[in-house]
Structure 1
Amino acid sequence: MKVILSRKGFDSKAGGIPSPILPDGTLLSLPIPAKCDELRYKDVYFDGVSFADILCQLKPKDNKIINWNCHLDPDIRLNSRKIKPANWSAGFGQISQAQGYLRNQQVGVGDLFLFFGWFRQTEGDFKDGTLRYVREAPNQHILYGYLQIGEMVSDSEKLQREYYWHPHSLERRAKENNNMLYLPTDTLTFNKNREGFGTFDFAEKYVLTKPGKSKATWKEIAALFPENICKNVRNSAKDGGIYYAGQWQELVLKENELSEEWVKSLF
């Protein structure tokens, strides 16, 4: 089983604010803005409240982004839409250079995506409009979800016919040769008590960021050091930790006991 770290959600350029750690520990990843997509922030929901409303609370001075379309991908949270599409399935799409990297690493059925992003603790109540970031709360990279690959779909007609609700089924993506939709297994192959996709609630074991460091400087997790990465990467961290420069999307870990034991410890 290969393990793939996949960076998703708001960042400093796309969205501009951290995704919220809700007071109950929910890691609510905010999908990035995407003008060419069809889904809008007002169409995406969490616990009865639209993401547009949540964004209004976290970014009150920005009255434009709430009307934008968004790229809900990975789509791994149940009931994220007010009206659930018929035959909905969790899924994650990748395209272009990032998909080329996954293809070259022979990522396939049985391999596991771990999704992480930029998060910060919040307080207040998103249901009554008082959600806000906790002052002085750190910015952190945190693992927030997963998907173990059960099926891979790249056929343009099948994507548009059977997975019309996913952004990688839109014609402009579906017609690309290097476009792939990853669908989950029913349950994890190494833990039959867990579905093949899902989200995590906040726990220290999911925090990648090294305490006292900037969000992109990670803890010294053995499985995440350069020698265990299937890519030519350099640890640029100073004074301890792990730091990989650049705006990369995916990192494939080497297929070995070190990687598998680390992943199993997360579930």
Structure 2
Amino acid sequence: MKLVLSRKGFDQGSGGAPSPIFEDGSLFSIPIPDGRTRQRYGDMRHGLHDIGEVVSHLTKGRYTGRSPAHVDPDLHKERIDRRDGWRPAFGQTGAAQRHLENQGVGTGDIFLFFGWFRDVSRNVDGIWRPTPGGRDIHAFHGWMQIGEVLDLSSGRATDWLHYPWLCDHPHVSRGAEPNNTIYIASETLALPGCIASAVAGGGRMSRLTEATTLTAQRQPKKSVWSLPDWFAPDSGRSLSYHVDHNRWTTTETGVNLKTVGRGQEFVIDIGDDKRALDWVSALITSAI
């Protein structure tokens, strides 16, 4: 089994602002902007919060509730009205998809989606802003085990018409595009001996926990992560783009990793390692 640590949501390059950690500890990963889609930030809600308003405030008006959003990965069923049969799905293309192919990612493998988050709160004027002195971190916000892989590179609607609920996904309307691919979640998560079958094959992590926090404690840079020691190259396996041993430091609890500046998909083959499977299980169940 392979794990894919997949960077998704607002960041400095796409959106220019963090996604919010609200005062109740809940997370909302803001999708990146995309002028080719029909979904709008103003159509999104998180509890009682208007995400269009949050986006407008955090980006200082660069994007508003009327701005279109690239909702991908699409993990949250209640975000909009759905057709029957809906399942979580994630699309990829270009160099990032070629990397997934070269790493042999396919059915049964698991995406763990992460992004940039900051604590936010309303100031005295009612404007959402990063909370002074609050957390500024990378954190996991969703998961998806691959149940099916669809090749949409031809641009033909017949490639996805057996899955009519995909009609709202941003990757089905791109036309002919080399290696345009959609990964569809399995019905349930299958980690033998680790997790009950009642857990969905994909979903969002709705709250921040110690387990879902990637950034190491007392680190000034959010790109320095705390991970279990089996991630490190010395374990006999390697995380793609991070094979340089100088990026890894042993700690009392595992390893710290200085992550690469850019990159979307980082892949590690965990095989049937019980330690790794237990870690994935604990990660997901801590935040749903």
TM bucket by the smaller chain? 0.7 to 0.9
User: How much does 1:159 deviate?
Assistant: 4.8
Are the equivalent residues in 1 in contact too, given 2:74–2:90 (CA < 8 A)?
Answer: yes
TM-score (norm 1): 0.87
Distance in 2 between residues matched to 1:78 and 1:129, nearest whole Å: 29
CA RMSD after TM alignment: 2.5
The corresponding residue for 1:89 is 87
Q: Identify the residue that residue 135 of structure 1 maps to in structure 2.
A: 132
Residue 225 of structure 2 corresponds to 218
Q: Corresponding residue for 1:186? A: 187
The alignment's TM-score, normalised by the length of structure 2, stands at 0.81
Residue of structure 2 equivalent to 1:231 = 240
Equivalent residue, structure 2, for 1:168: 171
**Stretch of structure 1 that moved more, 160-169 or 11-20:** 160-169
Q: Is the 8 A contact 1:209 1:217 kept in 2?
A: yes
* Alignment deviations for residues 18-75 of structure 1 (CA, whole Å, 9 cap, x no partner): 101122222100001112223222233333654212213434x325444321110001
Offset from partner CA, 1:102-135 (integer Å, 9 cap, x none): 111211111110000001112359xx95544221
CA distance in 2, matches of 1:13, 1:232: 19
- Which one-letter code corresponds to 1:210 in the other structure? A
- What residue in structure 2 maps to residue 248 of structure 1? 263
Q: Is the 8 A contact 1:2 1:253 kept in 2?
A: yes
Cα 1:43–1:182 change in 2 (3 A) is: same
Q: Which amino acid aligns with 1:150?
A: G
Structure 1 residue 193 displacement after superposition? 2.9
* Conservation of the 8 A alpha-carbon contact between 1:41 and 1:67: yes
Residues 32 and 223 (structure 1 numbering): CA distance in 2 closer, same or farther, change over 3 Å?
farther
Change (3 A) 1:251 1:212: same
User: What are the ranges of 5 or more consecutive residues in structure 2 without an aligned counterpart?
Assistant: 251-255
Identity of matched residues, %: 33
Q: Deviation digits for residues 122-167 of structure 1, max 9, x if unmatched?
A: 2359xx9554422111310001110111111114424553221100
Aligned with 1:170: secondary structure? Answer: coil
Query: What is the rounded CA distance, in whole Å, between the counterparts of 2:120 and 2:63 in structure 1?
Result: 22
Unaligned 5+ residue runs, structure 1?
none
Going from structure 1 to structure 2, the CA distance change for 1:160 and 1:152 (only over 3 Å counts) comes to closer
Corresponding letter in the other structure for 1:140: I
**Which amino acid letter does the alignment assign opposite residue 200 of structure 2?**
E
1:1-267 equivalences in 2 (<5 Å): 1-47=1-47, 49-59=49-59, 61-81=60-80, 83-85=81-83, 87-124=85-122, 131-155=128-152, 156-159=156-159, 161=161, 162=164, 163-172=166-175, 175-190=176-191, 191=195, 192-200=197-205, 201-213=207-219, 214-226=221-233, 228-233=237-242, 234=244, 237=247, 241-256=256-271, 257=273, 258-266=275-283, 267=285
Label 1:4 to 1:238 Cα distance change in 2 as closer, same or farther (>3 A). Answer: closer
Could you say what secondary structure the match of 1:262 adopts?
A: helix
Residue 180 of structure 1 deviates from its aligned partner by 1.1
